[in-house]
């Protein structure tokens, strides 16, 4: 095989593998580059207090730090009484939203009809 043929095959393989790597999507990535997973220990005290009050006997499944309209917010997915809730809290501890999360497993906001 000539040097040019070998180089061409290596170049094609590199491009193909690079495309696969670029197409790979992490499970926690929903396309929002501003969203960052956080733990309870990383929450500001005011946010932690509001979340504890709203969750009660429920279970926090996931917490993300996000930015909406230039404002830092914390979004928590919570299981309470067998239902999944989405709770949004401002960094000052103010409750922004508490609503049933009606997304089905495997769907995300981008797949919902508006």
Statement: residue 49 has pLDDT above 90 = yes
CATH number of the CATH domain containing 75: 3.10.450.360
Residue 46 placed within a domain: yes
Residue 67 placed within a domain: yes
Domain count, the chain: 1
pLDDT level of residue 32 (50, 70, 90 thresholds): low
Residue 77 placed within a domain: yes
The whole domain housing 35 covers 31-111
Residue 5 placed within a domain: no
Residue 3: phi and psi, rounded to 5, are -60, -40
From residue 79, give the alpha-carbon distance in Å to each of 5, 32, 34, 60. Answer: 58, 23, 24, 7
Residue 16 placed within a domain: no
Residue 23 placed within a domain: no
Statement: residue 23 has pLDDT above 60 = no
pTM for the full predicted model: 0.62
Percent of the chain with pLDDT over 70: 61
- For the segment 63-92, the average pLDDT, to the nearest whole number, is 96
Q: What share of the chain is helix, strand, coil (3-state, %, to 5)?
A: 35, 30, 35
pLDDT level of residue 53 (50, 70, 90 thresholds): very high
């Amino acid at each position: 095989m000539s040097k040019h043929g070998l180089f061409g095959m290596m170049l094609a393989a590199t491009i193909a593998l690079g495309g696969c790597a670029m197409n790979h999507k992490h499970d926690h990535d929903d396309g929002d580059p501003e969203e960052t997973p956080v733990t309870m220990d990383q929450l500001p005290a005011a946010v932690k207090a509001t979340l504890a009050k709203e969750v009660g006997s429920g279970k926090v499944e996931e917490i993300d730090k996000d930015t909406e309209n230039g404002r830092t917010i914390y979004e928590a997915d919570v299981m309470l009484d067998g239902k999944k809730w989405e709770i949004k809290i401002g960094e000052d501890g103010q409750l922004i939203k508490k609503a049933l999360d009606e997304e089905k497993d495997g769907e995300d906001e981008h797949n919902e009809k508006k």
